[in-house]
C-alpha cells in the first residue's frame, strides 16, 4: 500500500502545480504536449549491441537495421543511420492536421525513406521469390504474389507457363526438383507434389508430412509437420527441410514417401540449411535463428555439433540463416570451404584444411551489406574449375568476389581488389536477400525487386532472345564484359509477360514453330523483341521527376461537383439494379423486382456525394464529410457502416471508376480490396475480402499527388493506374508496393478525370487505357506483345466538339462510348483494324413524358447510332421538345455513364432523367427508353419506396 500512496501523492502534486502555475491550466497542457511530442535526436555515430553468446558488448557499424523477430519471422522495423546522412521520418498523418512539423518528404516507393542518392535505399525483403533450375531449358520461378511459373525455351523463344498452386494452397515460396519429381512449398508450410492427371494435365496434390508418414528416430509421432524452408542434397537424390518447429526433416524417398526427423540442435533450432551433403556425404550444416552454425552427422555421437564463432571481433559474427556456397579446393588441394554471410552483411568462410576448421573473414565492399550468395562456375575444362561468388546487397546491387586459384597453401588474407561491382539494371533494383541462379556459363538470372527478372550475361552471350547455347570457356585474365537484360514477368506480378499458349506457333508451351504469314501477309518476328520506342520499354525509378513539366499543385483544385459528376451512378447487379446519387445527397436504387422497375430510397443522416464501388452485393459510398460508408444487408435488414471510422481510415475524394467488365466473371480472393484517393492525394487500399476490413496507405508517386484512379486491376492484375495532378500516368503494384511512372511526351497532359480499361481478350494482356487530354481529346495508351506500350491520340469526333466527362464504358474490346460538349453521345469503335466514329446523338421522343418506348414502331432515325453527323437535326428535335416542356432537356449530361449489362448502358440527361441505350447487334446501338427519376422535374412517372 505504501507504493500506491506514493503514486497518489505525486499525482496530487502534479495537479496542484498545474492549477497554481500562472493561474491557468494551459501551462500544464503545454508541458504535457511538449513531453509527448518529443522526437528522438541522434547525437552520436557509436552504438553497441549486447551478445548473449559471449556476454559482452560489440560495437555495430552504421547504417544498422533494427530487426523484430516473431516465430523466426524477422522483419526490419527501423534503421540507425549516421548523423551526417540522417533523414527525418515522414509523418504518416493527414495533411489537414494543423501545426504539423514540416518534414523532409522523400518517399522512396519502397516503404522507407529515400536518401540523397537513390542507390542507398534499403529494399524490403521479398519472402516468396525463388529460382530453381530444372534444366538449361527450364527455370521455375515463384513470384512475390505467390504464383509459380516456368520459363521454358521451346526451341524458338522463351515462354512462360503457369503452374500455380490450388487456391487452398495459398502462396508458393519455393520449388524443389528431386529425382524428376517437382515439389512446391506454400507459405502456410504445406508441401505439394506435381502429378499428371488421367487427362494428361499437371495437377498439384498435397504432399505434407502427416501422422501416418512421419516418425522420428525415437518413435514419437506428430499429426502435421509444417515446413519452413528446404534444400535438395548435393547429389539430387534427397531433400532436407527445416520445419516451422525448428527441426531438421529429411525426405529420403518419394514413392512411397519416407520421412526421417533428425530433431534439432541442443538448445537451438534449425532455421536454414547451409549445406546438404555437399561437404561430406550425409552431413548436413544448418544455421539457427541466433546465427550459429551446426553440423549434423547421424553416424557420430553426438549427432549435433556446434561450430564456435570467431570471437573478439568488432563485427557481428552471427550468421544469416540462408543457404551458403560450398567449394572444394578453393584454398588448396583437399580443402573444403563453406561461404556464409553474417547478419551485418559480411562474407565469411568456414574452411576445412588439413583436418582443421577455421574462420576466414572477407568483409564486404565499402558501404555495402551483402544479403545473398550465388555460386557461379566460370570455367570447367581440363585446365581446372574457376569460380566466382555473386552477391546481392541490401540496396539492390550485385557484386562479384573473384576467388583466386590456390595451389597448396590456403589463403589467409582476403584481397580487396577481388570485389567487382555489376551495379544493377537500368531503372531497376535486384531483389534483396534472394539468391540468383546460373543457367549456363556466362549467364546468371536474378529476380528484381519489382517482380521482373534480369539476366546478367557476357557480351554476345545470353539475353531475352537467346536460348540455351553451347558452353563457352574463357580465361578470367581476359577482359570480360557483363551486360544486363530485363525480362518481363507474368501478369500476376504486375508486368507484361504473356503466358504461353497451346496453339501452334512460336509461343507454344512445348514446341515453338516459326510463324507463317498472317492474313495481312506479314510474318511476325520469331522472338518477343519489341519494335516500339526503346524508352517505352522501361519504367522510371521512384524518385525521378518524370519527363514532363510539373506545375504547382494549387492549379489543380477539384471542382465542388467532382464526386457527383464522376460517381453519380453505380451498377450493382447486372440488368437488375443500379444506384443513383442525387445532387441533393440522396441515395436511390433502381431495382427490378417482380417484373416491375421501382425506385428504393436508402436514407442516411448525412448527405451522400458519390458511389465509389461495390463488392459482394455491398455498396461503398462517400458522404459530404469524405467518409467511406458501406451499405450492406445484415440478415433481413440493411445497415450502414462507417469504414473511415475504422483504424487508419481516411477521408476520400474518389475511387475506382469501374467494378468489372460486363460479361467477365469476378474471381473472389483473400486479397480483394478497393482503392480510394484520399483528400491529400494519396492512394488508399481498403481490404474487403472475408469482411476483414483493413486500411493501408499506399502513398503517392514522387513529386505529385493523385488526382484520380484510371483503372483498378481490369487491364493488369494487381495494378492500379492513376493520373497525377500533374497530368501524368502512374501505376501502383499492390504486390511489390512500388510506384512507377510511364513514359509520356511533354506536350501530352492528361485530364484529371477517371479513365477506362479495354481488353480485347481475357486470354491476352493486349489492351488499352482510354483517357481524355486537358484539351478534350481522346487518348489511348495501348499495349501489345510485339510493340510494347504506345500512346495513340484519337482527337475528337468533330472539330467543333470536345469530349467531356469520363470516357466509357467499353464493350467487346472494341467499342467505347464518350459524351460530347454538344450533349451528344459518340461511339468510338474498331472496324477492320481501323478506328471509326459513330454519332448516337441523344434520346428523342415526340412526347417527353412518355416512358419506355423500347422497340416502338416509327422511331426517328436519331434513335440509332449512325456514321453520319446529324447534329443539326438533333438540335431541331431538342428545340421541339423544349417547346413542349421547359423543364425537359434530353441532351446527355457530362456525367460518367455505367454499363447495366453486356448490351445496356445508362446515361444521365441534363434534365435529371436517365436514358438507356441498348445494342441490337455488333456495333449497332439504339436509344431504348427514358427513365424518370425522383428528382427530375420533367416527369413524375416513377415508382418509389423506402428501403428497410
C-alpha cell at 269: 533450432
Least confident of 342-351, 410-419, 547-556, 899-908: 547-556
Residue position matching grid coordinates 490450388: 166
Q: Can the peptide bond before residue 256 be classed as cis, meaning omega within 30 degrees of 0?
A: yes
pLDDT value at 3 more than 70? no
DSSP state of 99: T
pLDDT for residue 781: 97
Q: Does the bond joining 302 to the residue before it have cis omega, within 30 degrees of 0? A: yes
Residue whose entry in the numeric block shows the C-alpha cell 576467388 = 403
Q: Is the pLDDT of residue 541 over 70?
A: no
C-alpha cell at 26: 494551459
Among 551-560, 821-830, 885-894, where is mean pLDDT lowest? 551-560
Give the containing element (helix H, strand E) for 719.
Answer: strand 719-724
Highest mean pLDDT among 212-216, 536-540, 552-556, 889-893: 889-893
Predicted local confidence at residue 857, as pLDDT: 34
CA–CA distance, 578 with 906 (Å, rounded to integer) = 9
Residue 191's nearest CA partner among 205, 203, 175, 207 is: 207
In this predicted structure, the answer to whether residue 531 has a pLDDT above a threshold of 60 is: no
Q: Which residues contact 786 (CB under 8 A, 6 or more apart)?
A: 524, 525, 528, 530, 531
Query: What's the whole-number mean pLDDT along residues 589-597?
Result: 93
Q: Does residue 8 carry a pLDDT above 70?
A: no
Q: What is the pLDDT of residue 105?
A: 33
Residue 927 predicted with pLDDT over 80: yes
Measured distance CA(455)–CA(282) in Å, rounded: 34
> Residue 382 pLDDT > 80, yes or no?
no
d(CA 545, CA 834): 36
What 3-state DSSP class applies to 423? strand
Strand, helix or coil for residue 351: strand
Q: Please report the pLDDT score of residue 87 as a whole number.
A: 35
Q: Tell me the CA distances in angstroms from 811 to 716, 765, 898, one per residue in order.
A: 17, 16, 11
Strands 336-341 and 347-353: antiparallel
The Cα 86–Cα 78 span in angstroms is 13
Which regions of 394-442 does DSSP assign to beta strands (E)?
Answer: 398-402, 419-423, 437-440
- Dump strand ranges (E) for 530-661: 569-573, 577-581, 587-593, 596-602, 608-615, 618-623, 628-634, 637-642, 652-654
| Long-range Cβ contact pairs of 225-228 (< 8 A, separation 24 or more) | 225/249, 225/259, 225/261, 226/188, 226/189, 226/190, 227/185, 227/189, 227/190, 227/191, 228/72, 228/189, 228/271
Q: Using alpha carbons only, what angle is made at residue 813 by residues 811 and 818, rounded to the nearest 5 degrees?
A: 50
**Strands 944-946 and 596-602: what pairing?**
parallel
Of 309, 267, 286, 313, nearest to 49 by C-alpha is: 313
Question: Do the beta carbons of residue 289 and residue 69 sit within 8 Å?
Answer: yes
Provide the 3-class DSSP secondary structure of residue 363: strand
Q: What is the DSSP letter of 817?
A: E
According to the model, what pLDDT value does residue 650 have?
Answer: 94
pLDDT of residue 82: 64
**CA nearest to 721, candidates 788, 770, 649:** 770
Distance CA 666, CA 168 (A): 18
Query: Phi/psi at 82 (nearest 5 deg)?
Result: -70, 150
Nearest Cα residue to 563 out of 623, 614, 603: 623
* Contact by Cβ (8 Å): 602, 651: no
At 209 the pLDDT is 92
Q: Region 439-445: what's the mean pLDDT?
A: 94
**What's the CA gap between 352 and 334, in Å, rounded?**
9
Question: What are the Cα distances from residue 396, in Å, to 252, 341, 368, 390?
Answer: 37, 16, 10, 13
Least confident of 153-162, 245-254, 458-467, 476-485: 476-485
pLDDT exceeds cutoff 90 at 614: yes
3-state helix, strand, coil in the chain (%, to 5): 10, 40, 50
Q: What is the pLDDT of residue 609?
A: 96
Enumerate residues 6+ apart whose C-beta is below 8 A from 12: none
Q: What angle do CA 845, 846, 847 make, to 5 degrees?
A: 90
The x, y and z cell numbers of residue 370, run together, are 551483402
Poorest-pLDDT segment among 299-308, 329-338, 421-430, 754-763: 329-338
* Residue pLDDT, tens place only, 399-427: 999 886 654 444 556 666 789 999 999 88
Residue 251's pLDDT is what?
Answer: 96
Give pLDDT tens digits for 692-713.
Answer: 899 999 999 988 999 999 999 9
Which pLDDT value is given to residue 586? 96
Lookup: cell for 11: 499525482
Predicted pLDDT at 395: 95
pLDDT at residue number 585: 95
Q: What is the DSSP string of 265-316?
A: -TTS---EEEEESSSSTTEEEEE-TTS-EEEEETTSSSSEEEEPPPPS-SS-
pLDDT at 776 over 90: yes
Distance CA 72, CA 899 (A): 49
Mean pLDDT computed over 716-741:
94
Please state, in angstroms and rounded to a whole number, the distance separating the CA atoms of residues 742 and 750: 13
Reported as a pLDDT band with limits 50, 70 and 90, residue 380 is low
Residue 125 to residue 287: CA distance in whole angstroms: 19
Q: What is the pLDDT of residues 853-871, one digit of tens each?
A: 333 333 444 468 988 554 4
For residues 596-600, average pLDDT: 94
> Is pLDDT of 852 > 50?
no
Lowest mean pLDDT among 88-92, 292-296, 397-401: 88-92
317 preceded by cis ω (within 30°)? Answer: no
Question: Average per-residue pLDDT in the chain?
Answer: 82
pLDDT greater than 70 at residue 787: yes
**DSSP letter, residue 16:** H
Q: Which range has the worst mean pLDDT, 104-113, 246-255, 477-486, 525-534?
A: 104-113
Helices 26-36 & 2-20, crossing angle to 10 degrees?
Answer: 120
At residue 113, the pLDDT reads 33
Amino acid at each position: 500500500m505504501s507504493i500506491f500512496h506514493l503514486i497518489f501523492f505525486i499525482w496530487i502534486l502534479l495537479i496542484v502545480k498545474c492549477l497554481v502555475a500562472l493561474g491557468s491550466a494551459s501551462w500544464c497542457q503545454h508541458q504535457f504536449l511538449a513531453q509527448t511530442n518529443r522526437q528522438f535526436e541522434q547525437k552520436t555515430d557509436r552504438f553497441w549491441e549486447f551478445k548473449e553468446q559471449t556476454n559482452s558488448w560489440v560495437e555495430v557499424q552504421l547504417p544498422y537495421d533494427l530487426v523484430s523477430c516473431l516465430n523466426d519471422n524477422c522483419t526490419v522495423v527501423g534503421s540507425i543511420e549516421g548523423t551526417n546522412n540522417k533523414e527525418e521520418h515522414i509523418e504518416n498523418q493527414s495533411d489537414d492536421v494543423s501545426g504539423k512539423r514540416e518534414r523532409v518528404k522523400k518517399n522512396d516507393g519502397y516503404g522507407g525513406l529515400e536518401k540523397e542518392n537513390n542507390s542507398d535505399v534499403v529494399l524490403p525483403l521479398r519472402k516468396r521469390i525463388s529460382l530453381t533450375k530444372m534444366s538449361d531449358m527450364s527455370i521455375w520461378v515463384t513470384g512475390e504474389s505467390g504464383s509459380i511459373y516456368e520459363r521454358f525455351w521451346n526451341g524458338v523463344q522463351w515462354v512462360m507457363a503457369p503452374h500455380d498452386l490450388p487456391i487452398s494452397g495459398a502462396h508458393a515460396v519455393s520449388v524443389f526438383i528431386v529425382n524428376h519429381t517437382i515439389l512446391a512449398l506454400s507459405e502456410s508450410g504445406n508441401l505439394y507434389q506435381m502429378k499428371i492427371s488421367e487427362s494428361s494435365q499437371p495437377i498439384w496434390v498435397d504432399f505434407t508430412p502427416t501422422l501416418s508418414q512421419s516418425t522420428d528416430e525415437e518413435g514419437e509421432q506428430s499429426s502435421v509437420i509444417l515446413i519452413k524452408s528446404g534444400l535438395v542434397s548435393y547429389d539430387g537424390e534427397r531433400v532436407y527441410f527445416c520445419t516451422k518447429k525448428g527441426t531438421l526433416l529429411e525426405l529420403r524417398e518419394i514413392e512411397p514417401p519416407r520421412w526421417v526427423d533428425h530433431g534439432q540442435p541442443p538448445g537451438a533450432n534449425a532455421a536454414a540449411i547451409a549445406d546438404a551433403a555437399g561437404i561430406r556425404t550425409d552431413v548436413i550444416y544448418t544455421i539457427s535463428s541466433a546465427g550459429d552454425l551446426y553440423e549434423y552427422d547421424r553416424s557420430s555421437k553426438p549427432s549435433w555439433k556446434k561450430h564456435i564463432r570467431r570471437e573478439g571481433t568488432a563485427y557481428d559474427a552471427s550468421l544469416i540463416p540462408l543457404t551458403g556456397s560450398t567449394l572444394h579446393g578453393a584454398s588448396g588441394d583437399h580443402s573444403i570451404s563453406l561461404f556464409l554471410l553474417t547478419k551485418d552483411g559480411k562474407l565469411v568462410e568456414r574452411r576445412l584444411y588439413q583436418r582443421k576448421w577455421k574462420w576466414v573473414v572477407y568483409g564486404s565492399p565499402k558501404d555495402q551489406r551483402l544479403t545473398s550468395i550465388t555460386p557461379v562456375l566460370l570455367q570447367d575444362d581440363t585446365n581446372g574449375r574457376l569460380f566466382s561468388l555473386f552477391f546481392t546487397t541490401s540496396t539492390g546491387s550485385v557484386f562479384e568476389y573473384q576467388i583466386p586459384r590456390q595451389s597448396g597453401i590456403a589463403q589467409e588474407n582476403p584481397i580487396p581488389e577481388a570485389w567487382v561491382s555489376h551495379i544493377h539494371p537500368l531503372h531497376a533494383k535486384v531483389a534483396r536477400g534472394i539468391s540468383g541462379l546460373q543457367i549456363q556459363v556466362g549467364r546468371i538470372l536474378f529476380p528484381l525487386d519489382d517482380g521482373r527478372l534480369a539476366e546478367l550475361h557476357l557480351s554476345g552471350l545470353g539475353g531475352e532472345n537467346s536460348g540455351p547455347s553451347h558452353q563457352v570457356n574463357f580465361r578470367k585474365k581476359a577482359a570480360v564484359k557483363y551486360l544486363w537484360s530485363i525480362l518481363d514477368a507474368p501478369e500476376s506480378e504486375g508486368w507484361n509477360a504473356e503466358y504461353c499458349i497451346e496453339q501452334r506457333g512460336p509461343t507454344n508451351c512445348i514446341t515453338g514453330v516459326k510463324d507463317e504469314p498472317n492474313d495481312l501477309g506479314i510474318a511476325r518476328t520469331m522472338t518477343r523483341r519489341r519494335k516500339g520506342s526503346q524508352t517505352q520499354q522501361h519504367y522510371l525509378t521512384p524518385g525521378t521527376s518524370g519527363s514532363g513539366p510539373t506545375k504547382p499543385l494549387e492549379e489543380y483544385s477539384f471542382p465542388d461537383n467532382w464526386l457527383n459528376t464522376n460517381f453519380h451512378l453505380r451498377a450493382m447487379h447486372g440488368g437488375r439494379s443500379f444506384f443513383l446519387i442525387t445532387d441533393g445527397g440522396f441515395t436511390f436504387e433502381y431495382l427490378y423486382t417482380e417484373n416491375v422497375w421501382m425506385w428504393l430510397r436508402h436514407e442516411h443522416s448525412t448527405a451522400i456525394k458519390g458511389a465509389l464501388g461495390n463488392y459482394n452485393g455491398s455498396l461503398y459510398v462517400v458522404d459530404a464529410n469524405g467518409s467511406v460508408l458501406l451499405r450492406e444487408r445484415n440478415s433481413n435488414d440493411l445497415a450502414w457502416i462507417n469504414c473511415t471510422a475504422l483504424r487508419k481510415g481516411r477521408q476520400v475524394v474518389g475511387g475506382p471508376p469501374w467494378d468489372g467488365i460486363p460479361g467477365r466473371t469476378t474471381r473472389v480472393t483473400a486479397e480483394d480490396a478497393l482503392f480510394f484517393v484520399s483528400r491529400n492525394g494519396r492512394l488508399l487500399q481498403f481490404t474487403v475480402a472475408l469482411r476483414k476490413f483493413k486500411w493501408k496507405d499506399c502513398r503517392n508517386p514522387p513529386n505529385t499527388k493523385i488526382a484520380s484512379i484510371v483503372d483498378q486491376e481490369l487491364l493488369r492484375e494487381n495494378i492500379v493506374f492513376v493520373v497525377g495532378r500533374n497530368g501524368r500516368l502512374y501505376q501502383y503494384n499492390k504486390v511489390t508496393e512500388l510506384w512507377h511512372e510511364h513514359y509520356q511526351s511533354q506536350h501530352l497532359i492528361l485530364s484529371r478525370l477517371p479513365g477506362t480499361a479495354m481488353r480485347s481478350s481475357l486470354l491476352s494482356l493486349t489492351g488499352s487505357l482510354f483517357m481524355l487530354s486537358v484539351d478534350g481529346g481522346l487518348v489511348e495508351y495501348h499495349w501489345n506483345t510485339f510493340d510494347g506500350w504506345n500512346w495513340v491520340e484519337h482527337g475528337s469526333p468533330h472539330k467543333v466538339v470536345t469530349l467531356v466527362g469520363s470516357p466509357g464504358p467499353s464493350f467487346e474490346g472494341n467499342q467505347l462510348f464518350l459524351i460530347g460538349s454538344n450533349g451528344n453521345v459518340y461511339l468510338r469503335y474498331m472496324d477492320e483494324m481501323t478506328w471509326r466514329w459513330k454519332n448516337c446523338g441523344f434520346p428523342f421522343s415526340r412526347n417527353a413524358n412518355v416512358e419506355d418506348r423500347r422497340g416502338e414502331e416509327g422511331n426517328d432515325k436519331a434513335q440509332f447510332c449512325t456514321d453520319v453527323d446529324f447534329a443539326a437535326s438533333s438540335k431541331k428535335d431538342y428545340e421541339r421538345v423544349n417547346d413542349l416542356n421547359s423543364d425537359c432537356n434530353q441532351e446527355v449530361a457530362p456525367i460518367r455513364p455505367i454499363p447495366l449489362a453486356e448490351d445496356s448502358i445508362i446515361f444521365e440527361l441534363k434534365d435529371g432523367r436517365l436514358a438507356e441505350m441498348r445494342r441490337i447487334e455488333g456495333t449497332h446501338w439504339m436509344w431504348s427508353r427514358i427513365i424518370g427519376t425522383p428528382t427530375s422535374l420533367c416527369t413524375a412517372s416513377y415508382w418509389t419506396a423506402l428501403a428497410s
